[in-house]
A = this chain, B = another copy of it.
Amino acid sequence: MTTAFLGPRGTYSEQAAIEFAGSDVDLIEMPNFAAAVAAVEQGRAEYAVVPVENSIEGPVSQSLDILIHDTDLKLFAEIVVPIEHVLVGLAGTSLEIVTHVHSHPQALAQCSKWLDTHLPNADRVAAMSTSGAVQAVVERGDHTSVAIGPERAQAMYGGEILVRGIQDVANNRTRFMVLADHDAEPTGRDKTFIAMRLDKNLPGSLHKALGPFAAADVQLTNIITRPTKRVLSEYVFLLDLEGHRLDPHIAASLEEMRAITQELKIIGSCPQYVSKFDRETSGKEHH
């Protein structure tokens, strides 16, 4: 089961890919979203794991635009990774002597309150990725530089975790989609991801398009608006629904919706994401 993901290794993207694939033996690293999608389209990978929301490393609106316009791959699974930054340095590094903190600018920004308090005099140095920052600091081998990144990067490149949980915002997560040439079978606890194109000049068109779901008690959990690439006054709405496209009430609502929208693309249905922690907890409750 070969799985393509957005490199480099040691990032939150790799963490999502490992959670999906079970281990890192069949992962192939891709330089961008388009390449990950192409790997599946061309048969070099079965799955592609790509960030869709609140990522550190990727331009997510570009990802969504490829999903809307440029590929027929389907949503096969969803993975949510908590962003938990750790401070990594050489073993025995004391914060007093640190002069440089390296990371991706977004990760540095997400830890800026902690840095202001605990490393107020250290220079912040940009890196292309969080894991690249950890690798560079460990390889440089001097005690005055530290890096901010995921725990996974320290496990790969060594050094020592000096401080955990240094990000300012709690509940910081990145949502990833696993794409394949088909979507997933119904499980009874699923979600469906669709893109619908509406004419901007039709007032209330969104209200009208949502009507079938409201009538059928279908739950909407997320809406993202993207301009279409073709016409400036047109919008694409990306919707997350609770339920599988093959569930009868969802199937009927989607049919009604197709008649109302200018275009409806069903990106696919897959099981709702349940974190490993929640799976283990709910497992224990039943024993």
> Residues of A at under 8 Å CB distance from B?
31-32, 54, 57-59, 61-62, 65, 104-106, 108-110, 112, 124-129, 169, 171, 200-201, 203-204, 206-208, 210-211, 213-215, 217-225, 227, 229, 235, 237
Chain B's closest residue to A237 (CB) is B223
Contact A210 B206 (CB under 8 A): yes
Contact B219 A200 (CB under 8 A): yes
Query: In whole angstroms, what is the CA distance A211 to B217 when docked?
Result: 16
Contact A213 B223 (CB under 8 A): no
Knowing A31-B112, A59-B110, A128-B108 are in contact, say whether A214-B219 is a contact too (CB < 8 A).
Answer: no
Residues of chain B contacted by A203 (CB below 8 angstroms): 213-214, 217-219
A15 to chain B, nearest CB (A): 19
Contact B110 A126 (CB under 8 A): no
A13 to chain B, nearest CB (A): 13
- Name the residue among A54, A59, A221, A237 with the largest chain B CB count within 10 angstroms: A59
Query: In whole angstroms, what is the CA distance A282 to B229 when docked?
Result: 24
Contact A204 B200 (CB under 8 A): no
Contact A211 B200 (CB under 8 A): no
Additional pairs, 5, CB under 8 Å, beyond known A171-B227, A204-B217? A58-B109, A126-B126, A126-B127, A206-B220, A210-B210
Residues of chain B contacted by A200 (CB below 8 angstroms): 219, 221
Partner of A207, one of B31, B171, B211: B211
Residues of chain B contacted by A105 (CB below 8 angstroms): 57, 104-105, 126, 128-129
Residues of chain B contacted by A224 (CB below 8 angstroms): 223-225
Query: In whole angstroms, what is the CA distance A56 to B32 when docked?
Result: 17
Chain B's closest residue to A226 (CB) is B222
Knowing A59-B109, A105-B128, A129-B105 are in contact, say whether A213-B207 is a contact too (CB < 8 A).
Answer: yes
Contact B206 A235 (CB under 8 A): no
A12 to chain B, nearest CB (A): 14
Residues of chain B contacted by A58 (CB below 8 angstroms): 109
Knowing A126-B127, A208-B214, A213-B207 are in contact, say whether A223-B225 is a contact too (CB < 8 A).
Answer: yes
Chain B's closest residue to A65 (CB) is B169
A33 to chain B, nearest CB (A): 10
Query: In whole angstroms, what is the CA distance A127 to B207 when docked?
Result: 44
Residues of chain B contacted by A201 (CB below 8 angstroms): 219
Residues of chain B contacted by A57 (CB below 8 angstroms): 105
Query: In whole angstroms, what is the CA distance A165 to B120 when docked?
Result: 38
A59 to chain B, nearest CB (A): 6
Contact A210 B207 (CB under 8 A): yes
Knowing A206-B223, A219-B203 are in contact, say whether A104-B128 is a contact too (CB < 8 A).
Answer: no
